[in-house]
Amino acid sequence: MKPQRFIRILTDIESQEVEQLYRRGPNNRIGKRAHAIRLSAMGYTVTHIAEILGCNRQSIHNWFDLFEAQGYQGLYEKPRSGRPVTATVDYRTQLVEAIKTNPRKMGYPFTVWTLTRIRAHMAREMRILLSESRVRQIMKEEGLVFKRPKHTLAQKRDKDAFAEVQDILEKVKKSPWNPVPSKNFIQWEYEIQNR
Protein backbone atom coordinates (compact mmCIF):
# COMPACT_ATOMS: atom_id res chain seq x y z
CA MET A 1 0.00 0.00 0.00
CA LYS A 2 1.34 3.41 -1.01
CA PRO A 3 1.81 5.97 1.73
CA GLN A 4 -0.74 8.75 1.72
CA ARG A 5 0.37 12.10 0.38
CA PHE A 6 -0.27 15.31 2.30
CA ILE A 7 0.65 18.87 1.54
CA ARG A 8 3.74 20.22 3.29
CA ILE A 9 3.27 22.19 6.50
CA LEU A 10 1.99 25.66 5.64
CA THR A 11 3.50 28.87 6.99
CA ASP A 12 1.16 31.34 8.68
CA ILE A 13 1.18 33.59 5.60
CA GLU A 14 0.50 30.67 3.24
CA SER A 15 -2.29 29.48 5.50
CA GLN A 16 -3.91 32.94 5.42
CA GLU A 17 -3.55 33.19 1.63
CA VAL A 18 -5.06 29.75 1.09
CA GLU A 19 -7.93 30.58 3.44
CA GLN A 20 -8.58 33.84 1.61
CA LEU A 21 -8.55 32.12 -1.80
CA TYR A 22 -10.91 29.48 -0.44
CA ARG A 23 -13.37 32.05 0.93
CA ARG A 24 -13.08 34.87 -1.61
CA GLY A 25 -11.19 33.52 -4.60
CA PRO A 26 -11.71 35.08 -8.03
CA ASN A 27 -13.63 32.01 -9.23
CA ASN A 28 -14.85 28.59 -8.08
CA ARG A 29 -11.99 26.62 -9.65
CA ILE A 30 -9.35 28.50 -7.66
CA GLY A 31 -11.50 28.21 -4.53
CA LYS A 32 -11.74 24.45 -5.08
CA ARG A 33 -7.95 24.12 -5.36
CA ALA A 34 -7.43 26.21 -2.24
CA HIS A 35 -10.00 24.03 -0.46
CA ALA A 36 -7.99 20.92 -1.39
CA ILE A 37 -4.80 22.45 0.06
CA ARG A 38 -6.70 23.51 3.18
CA LEU A 39 -8.21 20.06 3.70
CA SER A 40 -4.84 18.36 3.25
CA ALA A 41 -3.28 20.71 5.81
CA MET A 42 -6.09 19.68 8.19
CA GLY A 43 -5.13 16.01 7.79
CA TYR A 44 -7.57 14.75 5.14
CA THR A 45 -6.23 12.14 2.75
CA VAL A 46 -6.22 12.61 -1.02
CA THR A 47 -8.98 10.00 -1.31
CA HIS A 48 -11.21 11.88 1.15
CA ILE A 49 -10.49 15.22 -0.53
CA ALA A 50 -11.41 13.72 -3.91
CA GLU A 51 -14.73 12.50 -2.48
CA ILE A 52 -15.49 15.84 -0.81
CA LEU A 53 -14.65 17.96 -3.87
CA GLY A 54 -15.98 15.53 -6.46
CA CYS A 55 -12.82 15.38 -8.54
CA ASN A 56 -10.17 12.77 -9.31
CA ARG A 57 -7.07 12.03 -7.26
CA GLN A 58 -4.67 13.00 -10.05
CA SER A 59 -6.04 16.55 -10.12
CA ILE A 60 -5.41 16.87 -6.40
CA HIS A 61 -1.84 15.61 -6.80
CA ASN A 62 -1.33 18.15 -9.61
CA TRP A 63 -2.63 20.97 -7.38
CA PHE A 64 -0.29 19.85 -4.57
CA ASP A 65 2.69 19.85 -6.98
CA LEU A 66 1.84 23.35 -8.23
CA PHE A 67 1.34 24.67 -4.71
CA GLU A 68 4.59 23.20 -3.44
CA ALA A 69 6.53 24.57 -6.43
CA GLN A 70 4.96 28.06 -6.72
CA GLY A 71 3.08 28.67 -3.50
CA TYR A 72 -0.49 29.99 -3.61
CA GLN A 73 0.25 31.56 -7.04
CA GLY A 74 0.36 28.03 -8.44
CA LEU A 75 -3.39 27.69 -7.77
CA TYR A 76 -4.22 30.36 -10.37
CA GLU A 77 -4.92 29.29 -13.94
CA LYS A 78 -2.37 30.02 -16.61
CA PRO A 79 -3.49 31.46 -19.96
CA ARG A 80 -4.32 28.72 -22.43
CA SER A 81 -3.86 28.67 -26.14
CA GLY A 82 -6.97 28.34 -28.19
CA ARG A 83 -9.03 29.79 -30.96
CA PRO A 84 -8.44 33.50 -31.50
CA VAL A 85 -11.21 35.85 -30.46
CA THR A 86 -13.76 36.35 -33.24
CA ALA A 87 -15.38 39.46 -31.81
CA THR A 88 -12.49 41.87 -32.19
CA VAL A 89 -12.42 45.39 -30.77
CA ASP A 90 -13.36 46.69 -34.24
CA TYR A 91 -16.36 44.31 -34.36
CA ARG A 92 -17.54 45.48 -30.93
CA THR A 93 -17.18 49.14 -31.90
CA GLN A 94 -19.17 48.70 -35.10
CA LEU A 95 -21.82 46.65 -33.28
CA VAL A 96 -22.34 49.41 -30.70
CA GLU A 97 -22.49 52.09 -33.42
CA ALA A 98 -24.98 50.05 -35.46
CA ILE A 99 -27.29 49.42 -32.51
CA LYS A 100 -27.29 53.12 -31.59
CA THR A 101 -28.13 54.09 -35.19
CA ASN A 102 -31.65 54.01 -36.61
CA PRO A 103 -31.78 51.16 -39.17
CA ARG A 104 -33.64 53.40 -41.66
CA LYS A 105 -30.59 55.67 -41.83
CA MET A 106 -28.59 52.63 -42.94
CA GLY A 107 -31.03 51.86 -45.74
CA TYR A 108 -33.13 49.17 -44.05
CA PRO A 109 -36.94 49.11 -44.35
CA PHE A 110 -37.44 48.74 -40.57
CA THR A 111 -36.93 51.07 -37.61
CA VAL A 112 -36.07 48.66 -34.82
CA TRP A 113 -33.12 46.28 -34.45
CA THR A 114 -33.73 42.69 -33.45
CA LEU A 115 -31.04 40.17 -32.62
CA THR A 116 -31.50 38.42 -35.97
CA ARG A 117 -31.33 41.69 -37.89
CA ILE A 118 -28.24 42.99 -36.11
CA ARG A 119 -26.43 39.67 -36.60
CA ALA A 120 -27.24 39.73 -40.33
CA HIS A 121 -26.11 43.36 -40.59
CA MET A 122 -22.81 42.62 -38.83
CA ALA A 123 -22.25 39.55 -41.03
CA ARG A 124 -22.68 41.76 -44.12
CA GLU A 125 -20.46 44.54 -42.79
CA MET A 126 -17.71 42.61 -40.99
CA ARG A 127 -17.95 39.16 -42.61
CA ILE A 128 -18.27 37.68 -39.09
CA LEU A 129 -21.39 35.80 -37.98
CA LEU A 130 -21.56 35.28 -34.24
CA SER A 131 -24.12 33.21 -32.38
CA GLU A 132 -27.11 34.92 -30.79
CA SER A 133 -25.83 34.15 -27.30
CA ARG A 134 -22.43 35.69 -28.10
CA VAL A 135 -24.01 38.87 -29.48
CA ARG A 136 -26.22 39.07 -26.37
CA GLN A 137 -23.14 38.63 -24.18
CA ILE A 138 -21.25 41.41 -26.00
CA MET A 139 -24.27 43.69 -25.71
CA LYS A 140 -24.48 43.01 -21.99
CA GLU A 141 -20.77 43.74 -21.57
CA GLU A 142 -21.24 47.01 -23.48
CA GLY A 143 -24.30 47.96 -21.41
CA LEU A 144 -26.79 47.63 -24.30
CA VAL A 145 -30.23 46.04 -24.16
CA PHE A 146 -33.01 45.42 -26.65
CA LYS A 147 -36.29 47.00 -25.63
CA ARG A 148 -39.70 46.31 -27.02
CA PRO A 149 -40.77 49.12 -29.33
CA LYS A 150 -43.71 51.24 -28.28
CA HIS A 151 -46.01 51.73 -31.23
CA THR A 152 -48.24 54.78 -31.06
CA LEU A 153 -50.47 56.53 -33.52
CA ALA A 154 -49.45 59.98 -32.27
CA GLN A 155 -48.20 61.05 -35.70
CA LYS A 156 -51.55 60.18 -37.31
CA ARG A 157 -53.92 62.08 -35.00
CA ASP A 158 -55.14 65.64 -35.44
CA LYS A 159 -53.17 67.68 -32.91
CA ASP A 160 -55.74 70.45 -32.52
CA ALA A 161 -58.65 68.04 -31.99
CA PHE A 162 -56.55 65.99 -29.55
CA ALA A 163 -55.69 69.09 -27.49
CA GLU A 164 -59.36 70.13 -27.43
CA VAL A 165 -60.46 66.69 -26.20
CA GLN A 166 -57.70 66.71 -23.56
CA ASP A 167 -59.02 70.07 -22.24
CA ILE A 168 -62.57 68.69 -22.05
CA LEU A 169 -61.31 65.56 -20.30
CA GLU A 170 -59.44 67.63 -17.69
CA LYS A 171 -62.58 69.70 -16.99
CA VAL A 172 -64.64 66.54 -16.57
CA LYS A 173 -62.06 65.07 -14.20
CA LYS A 174 -62.11 68.19 -12.01
CA SER A 175 -65.91 68.52 -11.83
CA PRO A 176 -67.80 66.64 -9.08
CA TRP A 177 -69.38 63.37 -10.07
CA ASN A 178 -73.13 63.80 -10.14
CA PRO A 179 -74.82 61.24 -12.33
CA VAL A 180 -78.23 62.09 -13.67
CA PRO A 181 -80.48 59.03 -13.51
CA SER A 182 -81.88 58.06 -16.87
CA LYS A 183 -85.56 57.40 -17.50
CA ASN A 184 -84.92 53.65 -17.80
CA PHE A 185 -83.09 53.59 -14.46
CA ILE A 186 -85.98 55.33 -12.67
CA GLN A 187 -88.49 52.92 -14.19
CA TRP A 188 -86.34 49.92 -13.24
CA GLU A 189 -85.97 51.21 -9.66
CA TYR A 190 -89.77 51.72 -9.39
CA GLU A 191 -90.42 48.13 -10.61
CA ILE A 192 -88.05 46.68 -8.02
CA GLN A 193 -89.67 48.59 -5.14
CA ASN A 194 -93.18 47.53 -6.10
CA ARG A 195 -92.51 43.81 -6.28
Identify which of 167, 173, 93 has the alpha carbon closest to the alpha carbon of residue 126.
93
Q: Is 49 left (phi over 0), alpha (psi -120 to 50) or beta?
A: alpha
Predicted model pTM: 0.44
Confidence of residue 50 (pLDDT cuts 50, 70, 90): very high
Mean pLDDT lowest among 8-12, 66-70, 185-189: 185-189
Residue 150: per-residue pLDDT? 72
Please tell me the predicted confidence (pLDDT) of residue 34: 93
Distance CA 115, CA 133 (A): 10
Mean confidence (pLDDT) of the chain? 85
Higher pLDDT, 180 or 41: 41
Q: Is the pLDDT of residue 122 over 80?
A: yes
